[in-house]
Amino acid sequence: DPHFPITRLLALENTHTGKVIPQEYMLRARRLVDKHGLKLHLDGARVFNAVIATGLSAEELCRPFDSVSICFSKGLGTPIGSVLVGSKKFIARAHRWRKMVGGGMRQAGIIAAAMDHALDHHIDRLADDHANARDLWEGLHDLPGIRLEPQHTNMVYVNFESAGTAKHVSDTLRAQGILTSSAQRMRLVTHLNISPADVERTISAFAAALKR
């Protein structure tokens, strides 16, 4: 149909909304794209969370894909920075496209240095983020007026019974320096700068807000 683009790429994300996508699913996707002559890309913004959660290596998780993008400013805690991974031929093309659209940066070594530090020091500690998220989930689970989705890595999703309750809780937390959205489905994310004490303070603030 000339009204629609011709599919050339399937892109998947791992983790997705904090959930680890099973590796068997990724292998099935690989077989699917091979059958149809497509490429397979991984949005691996939080792939190292999947590494910690599964015990599989990054190489193994990324192996089914033709290309992978990895963000370093989320769980790995750098101020800025991402990498694109692929074959030498693919990266050579990416360099050309980057040049064509003006995406190059000068003196980017300081960014790379922070990313290099994160690879050495911030991967294993992602387990702390997962533990903090689990503690947060357990602390919020029995509070009235909310329903929690299952927690897998470093994200906790809170569903409120009403939009009014969501706004009230968000406003109450903001007054205590805890910033969240006021959406009826609220996402809470643990990271390098969140401590167990922060988790306890958040649980207490939720409890106080939901009692009113």
* Half-sphere exposure at residue 76, Cβ-oriented, CA atoms within 13 angstroms: 27
CATH architecture designation of domain 9-121: 3-Layer(aba) Sandwich (3.40)
Structure tokens at 14: 């791992």
Residue 84: pLDDT over 90: yes
Give the residue from 76, 93, 75 showing the smallest Cα distance to 84: 93
Q: What pLDDT shows up at residue 104?
A: 84
Residue range(s) in the chain whose domain bears CATH number 3.40.640.10:
9-121
In contact, 132 and 190? CB cutoff 8 Å: yes
Q: State whether residue 200 is helix, strand or coil.
A: helix
Instruction: Order the strands of the 155-160 sheet from edge to edge.
Output: 146-148, 155-160, 185-189
Residue range(s) in the chain whose domain bears CATH number 3.90.1150.10:
126-211
- Rounded to an integer, the average pLDDT of 86-106 is 94
Backbone φ and ψ for 85, nearest 5 degrees, come out as -120, 135
The rounded mean pLDDT for the chain is: 96
In contact, 80 and 111? CB cutoff 8 Å: yes
- The model's confidence at residue 105, banded by pLDDT at 50, 70 and 90, is confident
Q: What pLDDT shows up at residue 43?
A: 98
C-alpha–C-alpha distance, residues 129 and 155, integer Å: 9
Q: Does domain 126-211 have CATH number 2.60.120.10?
A: no
Pairing of strands 185-189, 155-160: antiparallel
C-alpha–C-alpha distance, residues 168 and 160, integer Å: 11
